[in-house]
Amino acid sequence: MTTFMHKSIAIVAALSSITFAAPLAAPLRNRQSTDGVCVDGKTKVFMPELYNVYYYPGVAPFPSRATTINVFNEGRDGGSAQDQVVRWSNLPSGIENCTIGYSQAAERAFSVFDNGLVRFAQLSSLPSPVTSETVPGVAIDGAQRGALDFTSWPQTTGAAGHIGGPVDCGAEVVVRMYKDMSASGGAGSVTLEQDSTNGFWLEHSC
Ligand SMILES: *[C@@H]1O[C@H](CO)[C@@H](O)[C@H](O)[C@H]1NC(C)=O
């Protein structure tokens, strides 16, 4: 991993800034998801599984899990990029109105460099293994469903929630997060450590 990171200014910058932003990261890291709290007929499920999808020139695809959101795109020819496939599983049957988004708590490990717009597409299932070779392109399996803009949000103190958009409900919801260069997208990186109040969530009826 270390050699790959040195190839990417975006990753090195993202990881080095975490140290300054995460006073409470350690005690929160091992908490379980806090789903089950019903507010106004809705509940949010935090801490989905994260699967890294590396696009590193000259490096063979390999699977990798993560607990930290990390999506980036260097945005130049032959540059590196990383998507993440996100999975919520064991969701209750009969749930409705599934929406995904992300939250940042007052205490978080969160950094964004340059453009922080992350688009998402829903996948019909989790590829196995999850790599750049097995994750289907957006055109093949799932058009873009929405986007989450992380740009400038680390500079905001206090808690904030961000809605991405609706997804189809199911026992399992699988979404690919990626940065592309079109429209308001652009080169940049997003890093946010997940815990019970930070990171991606799926909201559904309860
Ligand atoms: C889902 O959303 C619709 C439209 O807002 C609402 O009418 C319906 O009651 C919701 N379903 C549940 C189970 O909350």
34-93 pLDDT, tens digit per residue, is 556 899 999 999 999 999 999 999 999 999 999 999 999 999 888 999 999 999 999 999
- Residues in the chain with pLDDT < 50? 1-33, 139
Which DSSP state fits 154?
G
Give the atom of ligand 1 at the shortest distance from the alpha carbon of 97.
1
Any ligand 1 atom below 6 A from CB of 41: yes
166 Cα to the center of ligand 1, angstroms? 13
pLDDT, position 178: 94
Instruction: State the distance between the two ends of the chain, measured CA to CA, in whole angstroms.
Output: 41
pLDDT at position 23 is 35
Residue located nearest, by CA, to atom 14 of ligand 1: 205
pTM (2 decimals)?
0.82
Ligand 1 center–CA 150 separation, angstroms: 28
State residue 77's pLDDT score: 84
Q: Is 97 in the pocket of ligand 1 (CB under 6 A)?
A: yes
Ligand 1 and 205: CB distance under 6 A = yes
Rounded Cα distance, 18 and 83, in Å: 19
| Residue 31 DSSP symbol | P
Q: Which amino acid is at 49?
A: E
Residue 114, Cβ density class (10 Å: 0-12 exposed, 13-18 middle, ≥19 buried): middle
Instruction: Please give the pLDDT value at position 53.
Output: 95
Instruction: Write down the pLDDT at residue 149.
Output: 96
Report CA torsion sign: 71, 176, 75, 78. positive
Q: What's the CA gap between 47 and 87, in Å, rounded?
A: 9
